[in-house]
Amino acid sequence: MRGVFAFPAVSEGKTMGVLTFEARDAREPDERLLQSARVVGGQLGQFLRGKQAEESLRESEARFRSLTQMSSDFFWETDPEHRVASVQHGPGYVPTEPRVLGKARWEIASVSPDEAGWAAHRARMDQHLPFRDFEFGRPLPDGTRYLAISGEPRFAADGRFLGYRGVGRDVTEVSIARERIATLAYSDPLTGLANRTSLGPSLEQAVQRSRRRGSKLAVLFIDLDGFKPINDLHGHHAGDALLVEVAERLRAHLRASDLVARLGGDEFLVVLEEVADLAPVETVAKKLLGEMHRPFALPAATAMCTASIGISVFPDDAADATALMKHADSAMYAAKQAGKDCLAFYTAAPAANETGQADSSAA
């Protein structure tokens, strides 16, 4: 018969393990042995709990490191003046940017630090508040890169602000895709001009500017003459090529600040701001009509196409964008009825805009 002595390793009332000792003879343990067992069991229990905590911490750190490496391209810290103090790049991310240490983010961005987005971001950092997914562009030799950063403030034990610590991601592809979607939504995909969706707000803003300045504004509604026969004879591919050429001719003979839009089909609209009188408007319209007289080189043929232009003026003919477009459209139909390949200013007289007779300003 052999003797066995066993006692638990305990920490904070929880059994962390059991120790056993064997002896040749079996005998009752004395009080001294029992007290020693309790002391050793308590110390061993604390040791085992500490080892479990260390292992749990290692697993947690490994899990956190894995997750952050998968979700972030780089880690960064700043000093109390918001200057970049360190940057550590994650695996698989090869930075192409020049050194940024010692500089604030707004000193290396591709936009003015006074823009609204940066102003709000700097105000938040000055208040030592956390932020998430702040996006900005970096001009680099291979093009602008777009980054999204998130950060949290760091404080010392005495409450002193030490700077920020955070993560960042390269979101260039996402940003470019977002811009492309916005372009498709507000631009004509064929000609690249503004489309009907973006025209309304842009024209309304132009009206508001003219109202503040006390100046005039002219809307030119342009409709091609004879486009459908060209489209039917040579095909839609040739028709599209002609529309693209029309857009290029309009853009080339107008100021960069002038709004040019394609309303759909063979209809275009031009907005001329800061108009003092009607003479310059008529001059521009005649120049555009003349541009339409030049032959259009299509993929498999050469075609001729003219245009009819209707003109309405703010504030003479209308007080808002919707009425201006409506009246310019009405004047365009008057030009059509007058024989096409001409221009007509809007007039409220029914004979000029309802019965198809151009007014005395038609040319």
- For the annotated catalytic residues, the residue numbers are 266
Confirm if 358 and 352 have CB atoms less than 8 A apart: yes
Closest C-alpha to 219, from 113, 309, 294: 309
Closest C-alpha to 108, from 139, 87, 80: 139
- Look up tokens 């003349």; give the residue: 290
Nearest 5°: phi and psi at 94? -105, 105
**Which residues, in sequence order, are CB contacts of 137 under 8 Å at separation 6+?**
109, 110, 111, 144, 145, 146, 147, 175
Local structure of 191: helix, strand or coil = coil
- What's the angle, vertex CA 144, arms to CA 143 and CA 145, rounded to 5? 115
Cα separation of 147 and 134, whole Å? 8
**Which residues, in sequence order, are CB contacts of 327 under 8 Å at separation 6+?**
219, 310, 312, 317, 318, 346, 353
Give me the amino acid identity at 108: I
Residue 105 C-alpha from the chain's centroid: 19
Local structure of 71: helix, strand or coil = helix
Cα separation of 66 and 147, whole Å? 21
Cα–Cα distances in Å, from 31 out to 8, 26, 35, 277?
16, 16, 6, 115
Confirm if 147 and 138 have CB atoms less than 8 A apart: yes
Cα separation of 314 and 320, whole Å? 8
**Which residues, in sequence order, are CB contacts of 242 under 8 Å at separation 6+?**
227, 230, 296, 298, 303, 305
Give me the amino acid identity at 125: M
Give me the amino acid identity at 234: H
